[in-house]
Structure 1
Amino acid sequence: MMTARNVDPAAMMTDDDYSQPAEIFLLRRSGAKRSGLTYRRFATAAEAIDYAVTECASLRPDDLVMAVEDKRFNLGTLRALHREARHSTPSTVGEATA
């Protein structure tokens, strides 16, 4: 019997998911200047992944969750997806090589 624990979370992200709108929920710890939950919405999951990996690099994996449709990914999974470079950012799409 296969459970959700047996599935690699990064494998749940399909190529179509990268172009879907995404939401990021960010937990600010009590030691931070402003604690609580922060919410950000992105036009595409690719943009959200870039934001999470570059702007929130110092956070713990469970301090950030990205939601794409009914799927949830923590920061650790987003780092793995970013390393795989399975997505393309708007700045690299259609870029000509000289």
Structure 2
Amino acid sequence: MNSSTTTTIPAPDETERARQLIELGLAVDPEARSQTLARLIAASLHQGPDTALGRFASTGQLDQQACLDELNQLRVPFEQEAWIDAFGRFVLFSAGGRS
């Protein structure tokens, strides 16, 4: 019996359902104050599980500066730019209301 395990690295959630949930979440919470919405956005945008966005998506642990740095590096389609803005607001609100 082989005792080794296979580890699957989660990819960003780019499903149509994720896009719909994010758009609905932003319609209800345009300031993106919900951690659940922020984690879904991070899951859809991260560049890998070892990134700050990937870690936030999977664990909820927010490294504010690292996430903001990653957001500044992202290049997304026009329709996802609002997601970056919303996540950035979430990070800033989490930092005690800095702007």
Is TM (by shorter chain) over 0.5? no
What TM-score comes out, normalization by structure 2 length?
A: 0.34
What TM-score comes out, normalization by structure 1 length?
A: 0.34
Bigger strand share: 1
